[in-house]
Copies of this chain bind each other. A is one copy, B any other.
Amino acid sequence: MARTSPLCRERRDRREGDVSFSFRIVAQQPDTSARAAAMTTGHGEVHTPAFMPVGTQGTVKTLSPGELEEAGVQIVLSNAYHLYLRPGTEVIEQAGGLHSFIGWNHPILTDSGGYQVFSLADLNMVSEEGVTFQSHLDGSRHLFTPEKTMSIQHDLGADIIMCLDECTNYPCSRGEAQASAELTLRWAQRCRQAHARLNAVQDRRQALFGIVQGSTYADVRAHSARALAEMDLPGYALGGLSVGEPKTAMYEMIDATMPYLPADKPRYLMGVGMPEDLVEAVSRGVDLFDCVIPTRNARNGSVFTHQGQLVVKNAEYARDFQPIDAACGCYTCRHFSRAYLRHLFQAGEILAPRLATLHSVHFFMELMKQMREAILEGRFLAWRREFLHQYRGSLKNGDQDMGAQRNPFIGGEI
């Protein structure tokens, strides 16, 4: 890869630090690393800590953009891998970009597709150049290089775009974790350069985030974070977590990484998670999250309440005329009973996953809002104690088998 000239370098740096993206910490909770911030993008501000519902294929499954707005969603995640394969990047570019295509005039983050290539696609083969894979839709062969994923994400036009990374499975050996983290670093450098070249032609004011890897090895993660931080990217993500490791390992890896990420940049924990994980990670200084849990579980008849998860499709709710969560003000809880939801699930009605998803997304948004307000008012520690006490004194066990194979509404979100 040719070195960039000092002039190009300056130009690129200026563009990467474009006024259209900024991150400003507005409060810090003493005795924790929790902070509240304002993240500005070309499509508006995101108040962090924030949770991004997952809109894999250009729609947060079952919900309309209007419903997302009403639930308080500030930013959604979408997926370069899926959109590249279907409907194709050109269609979305012709539509005027992803915001216009999906009718969402607020911030969007696109993942590079690295995670999907490794988890969904067939026959993926990694080389220094990139990853070759077969589409999970039609078996067609494709090559994702760092440069290619930048080009795709440039065309899609999300406000935040992600570097191509290699996501390791759990467990993985120290050697594999090191090799994978190193490859991810080299790819990040190439992404940074490709992004700068694309911006030199047409600057879409996108913020490129790097991704820390290193599996469950604290020193590998520390090294990965340090090296990424030197690239001076506008934000950093923790990848390769929530892939099967124990929760304690996940918390340890967050702790091992945080000291090496610049405090004045956003930190994004990818693919997390359960409400208790969000609380723990916010305590440790994470600002941004995405996860399929609220939406996928809802489609499967399991919804979140302040007392834990509740499998509303179960027979025990057939004559329960209470709302899902009496403390919730969402459209579902204002208008419908658990008995009606249970009936809709039994009858296989599309309104079932719709109303359940609407509730759970609202629940996650309220959770983030409560954390932010607690941080702003300096009472996050007390809030956390109370929330976890109530939540863990759970009505239902959230870890039961959801019978995902038998449910027609599930579909794929990753």
Contacts and interface: CB of A to CB of B under 8 A. Distances in A.
A260 interface: no
14 contacts: A57-B344, A58-B347, A59-B344, A59-B351, A62-B350, A62-B354, A64-B355, A86-B346, A87-B318, A91-B319, A101-B339, A102-B340, A103-B335, A350-B354
Contact of A65 (B319, B335, B342): B335
A349 B57 contact: yes
Nearest to A95: B321
Contacts of A319: 91, 94
A265 interface: no
Given A91-B319, A354-B350, A337 B101 contact: yes
Interface in A349-371: 349-351, 353-355
Contacts of A336: 103
Contacts of A65: 335
B354 A64 contact: yes
Contact of A411 (B321, B331, B348): B348
Interface residues of A, number: 42
Interface in A223-248: none
Contacts of A94: 319, 321
A65 B340 CA distance: 13
Given A103-B340, A350-B353, 12 more contacts: A59-B347, A62-B354, A64-B331, A64-B355, A65-B335, A66-B331, A86-B347, A87-B318, A87-B346, A94-B321, A101-B339, A101-B340
Contacts of A64: 331, 351, 354-355
A376 interface: no
Contact of A58 (B59, B340, B350): B340
A374 interface: no
Interface in A319-340: 319, 321, 331, 335-337, 339-340
Contact of A350 (B96, B342, B347, B409): B409
Contacts of A409: 350
Interface in A45-101: 57-59, 61-66, 86-87, 91, 94-96, 101
Contacts of A66: 331, 335
Contacts of A342: 87
A106 interface: no
A355 B86 CA distance: 19
Ordered nearest first, which 5 A-B pairs have the shortest CB separation? A103-B335, A87-B343, A57-B347, A62-B350, A59-B351
A403 interface: no
Contacts of A175: none
Contact of A343 (B91, B96, B339, B350): B91
Given A91-B339, A335-B65, A337-B95, A59 B103 contact: no
Nearest to A299: B350
A408 interface: yes
Given A318-B91, A331-B66, A350-B62, A86 B343 contact: yes
A385 B388 CA distance: 67
Contacts of A59: 344, 347, 349, 351
A58 B102 CA distance: 30
A346 to B, nearest CB: 6
Nearest to A85: B347
Nearest to A60: B351
B57 A95 contact: no
A101 B318 CA distance: 12
A290 to B, nearest CB: 18
Nearest to A332: B64
